[in-house]
Amino acid sequence: MISNCKVAVTSRSFSLNPVLREELLERYPNTKFNDEGRSLSGKDLIEFLWGAEKAITALERIDEDVVAALPELKVIGKYGVGTDMIDKAALRKHGVRFGWTGGVNRRSVAELTIAMMISLLRHLPYARDEVLAGRWRQIWGHELGQQQVGILGCGHVGKEVARLLKAFGCEVIAHDLLDFPEFYAQHQIRPVSFDELVTESDILTVHVPLDASTRGMLGEEQLRRMKPGAMLINVARGGIVDERVLKQLLQDGHIGGAAFDVFEVEPPDDMELLSLPNFMVTPHIGGSSKEAILAMGRAAIDGLDHNEIP
């Protein structure tokens, strides 16, 4: 059904995607896209969304100030699965409905997680730098299948990572606030306490959302209790891991390697951390496969029509 409702799309990658544009315009011809590729926040975000009855947002922070300034806004469809940038209390206060689908990018994020594990274990970024510097020598690494991998958060992405790890023959342990006995039994996963996960993992991979209970979850105490030489992967959200302590432990070798796709401040500005030879960085691309972009975009479009007060 075609609607004359005014829609605004803040997401740059959605706006650049011809398939998503066409599918959205078929339903909502009166749509404004972020064609200039602007990073929108505060007053610029309010100005862009002004007059829209429905919006598709991504990593833009939708807080009380933004919602209160947009009296015509009635629905937000979420492009992506993280909701930490959405002030749900503000949406409830102003009667703005929220359309969101979890897990639509889980395969994309899970595959990046596996790629990071293998890259760290085989020292791939360092090996490339060595070749480019004119040095050609053997660099010893480890096989993924020989590692005990700990999954922190066994939701959509955590479960997908566990499924992929099964093909490598890894021992997998997991910790989550919820219990998934059937899934654990099916995939030979050993559920453990948070403390056991931290101290027993050869590779610890983070897949929890960012909220009050998880912010700083892997702080100094937890990071120092990791196995000497263990590796840490974070493709979830910045703010869960203490990046300052991580840098120190990478420098002294207590943590053997880390790979981060997300940071507390993006883009990150700690060049000392980013330049460490045992640290791998990617620019928040976990959900940036072409397949995931289509899935997230279609879920966001659907969220304009199927939504609720959060």
**Does residue 45 sit in the same domain as residue 84?**
yes
Catalytic annotation on 237? yes
Task: Using pLDDT thresholds of 50, 70 and 90, give the confidence band for residue 291.
Answer: very high
Instruction: Kindly write down the DSSP assignment for every residue of 39-104, as one continuous string.
Output: ---HHHHHHHHTT-SEEEESSS-B-HHHHHT-TT--EEEESSS--TTB-HHHHHHHT-EEE--TTT
DSSP 155: S
In a domain, 115, yes or no: yes
CB 88 within 8 A of CB 278: no
In a domain, 262, yes or no: yes
Q: What is the pLDDT of residues 236-283, one digit of tens each?
A: 999 999 999 999 999 999 999 999 999 999 999 999 999 999 999 999
Q: Which of 27, 122, 163, 284 is catalytic?
A: 284
Task: Note the pTM of the prediction, 2 decimals.
Answer: 0.87
**Does residue 32 sit in the same domain as residue 114?**
no
In a domain, 2, yes or no: no
Task: Using pLDDT thresholds of 50, 70 and 90, give the confidence band for residue 4.
Answer: confident
Q: Across all residues in the chain, what is the average pLDDT?
A: 95
Residue 3 has pLDDT above 90, yes or no: no
CB 190 within 8 A of CB 184: yes
Distance, in Å, from the CA atom of 215 to the CA atom of 240, rounded to the nearest integer, reads 5
**Does residue 112 sit in the same domain as residue 238?**
yes
**Does residue 265 sit in the same domain as residue 216?**
yes
Q: What is the pLDDT of residues 154-195, one digit of tens each?
A: 999 999 999 999 999 999 999 999 999 999 999 999 999 999
Query: Positive or negative, the Cα torsion across 116, 118, 121, 125?
Result: negative
Q: Which of 47, 64, 221, 266 is catalytic?
A: 266
CATH label of the domain that carries residue 71: 3.40.50.720
- Read off the tokens for 183: 């899934």
- Helix, strand, or coil here: 214? coil
Q: Domains in the chain: how many in total?
A: 2
Catalytic annotation on 284? yes
**Does residue 119 sit in the same domain as residue 251?**
yes
**Does residue 202 sit in the same domain as residue 261?**
yes
**Does residue 134 sit in the same domain as residue 270?**
yes
In a domain, 1, yes or no: no
What is the pLDDT at residue 9? 97
**Does residue 168 sit in the same domain as residue 78?**
no
**Does residue 153 sit in the same domain as residue 236?**
yes
**Does residue 138 sit in the same domain as residue 259?**
yes
Mark residue 113 as left, alpha or beta (left: phi above 0; alpha: psi -120 to 50; beta: remaining): alpha
Report, as an integer, the average pLDDT of 31-60: 94
Residue 303 has pLDDT above 80, yes or no: yes
Residue-range definition of the domain harbouring residue 27: 7-104+289-305
CB 105 within 8 A of CB 299: no
In a domain, 310, yes or no: no
Q: Which of 12, 97, 123, 237 is catalytic?
A: 237
**Does residue 192 sit in the same domain as residue 254?**
yes
In a domain, 52, yes or no: yes
Q: What is the pLDDT of residues 72-115, one digit of tens each?
A: 999 999 998 888 889 999 999 999 999 999 889 999 999 999 99
Catalytic annotation on 92? no
Residue 1 has pLDDT above 80, yes or no: no
Chain Cα centroid distance, residue 48? 25
What is the pLDDT at residue 2? 78
What is the pLDDT at residue 286? 95
**Does residue 296 sit in the same domain as residue 225?**
no
